Amino acid sequence: MVAAIEDQRIQLADLSFDPYISEEEISQRVAEMGQEINGWDLGPKPLLISVLNGSFIFAADLMRQLDFTAEIAFIQLNSYDGTRSKGEIVMEGAQLGVPVRNRDIIIIEDIVDSGLTMFYLVQELKKRLPASIRIVTLLHKPEMQEFPVTVDQIGFSIPSDFVVGYGLDYRGLGRNLKGLYKLAGQDLPA
């Protein structure tokens, strides 16, 4: 169950979450990110690749900030089980269904944690000979990153807390929350 009021602690399955980053803060930052991407030197018809499931809301909002013609494709990768990384990637929708060769690729990710998912995806995409690959993520946990990936654009750098909302889930719940929430029992940011 998701509580209707979004400025309070909420319960998802067996865990409680506290408000963390508001809907307003997210939409302001996503607009800024879009403006910045509009200034990037990209070839014709860049390809956005949204990593499912978590990035679908961010990708939809970000894409609407772009003022150039772009295509979008979706790929399903999963390394998380509950609140912990499984340490391996499961690729569920392996077929992108669109050509990658010689195109500028912008990967849209919800959160870069260990970096494993992005490391894996970049290796896979490189085999298809794109012109370039950039990574855009709404959230980044710099303290947790173990794999060598360069993230080109970050919405918010956050500590290692587990977060939900705005597309991110806990056991399939919480994706529809408009803001971001963090696991209760840890300090809120200053």
Mind telling me the catalytic residues? 113
Q: Does 177 bind ligand 5GP (CB under 6 A)?
A: no
**117 interacts with ligand 5GP by CB under 6 A:** yes
Q: Which is nearer to ligand 5GP, 27 or 85 (CB)?
A: 85
CB-based contacts of 91: which residues, under 8 Å, 6+ apart? 75, 76, 77, 120, 124
Q: Of the candidates 108, 163, 177, 180, which one interacts with ligand 5GP according to CB under 6 A?
A: 163
Contact flags string 49-88 toward ligand 5GP, x per CB under 6 A: --x--x------------------------xx----x---
Question: In the set 22, 27, 65, 114, which binds ligand 5GP (CB under 6 A)?
Answer: 114
* Interaction of residue 164 with ligand 5GP, rule CB under 6 A: yes
- Sheet containing 104-112: which strands, arranged edge to edge? 84-91, 71-81, 47-52, 104-112, 132-140, 153-157
Q: In Å, how far from its chain's centre is CA 29?
A: 14
Task: Kindly give the pairing relationship between strand 163-164 and strand 10-12.
Answer: unpaired
Q: Does 169 sit near ligand 5GP (CB under 6 A)?
A: yes
Give whichever of 42 and 50 is closer to ligand 5GP, judged by the CB atom: 50
- Residue 105: partners with Cβ closer than 8 Å, 6 or more residues away: 46, 47, 48, 49, 125, 130, 131, 132, 133, 134
The answer to the question of residue 27 lying near ligand 5GP (CB under 6 A) is: no
User: Can residue 110 be called a binding residue for ligand 5GP (CB under 6 A)?
Assistant: yes
**52: β partners:** 76
Exposed / middle / buried, residue 187 (Cβ in 10 Å: 0-12, 13-18, 19+): exposed
Cβ proximity to ligand 5GP: between 67 and 88 the closer is 88
Using the rule CB under 6 A, is 22 a contact of ligand 5GP? no
Rounded CA-CA distance 114/26 in Å is 22
Binding site for ligand 5GP (CB under 6 A): 51, 54, 79-80, 85, 109-117, 162-164, 168-170
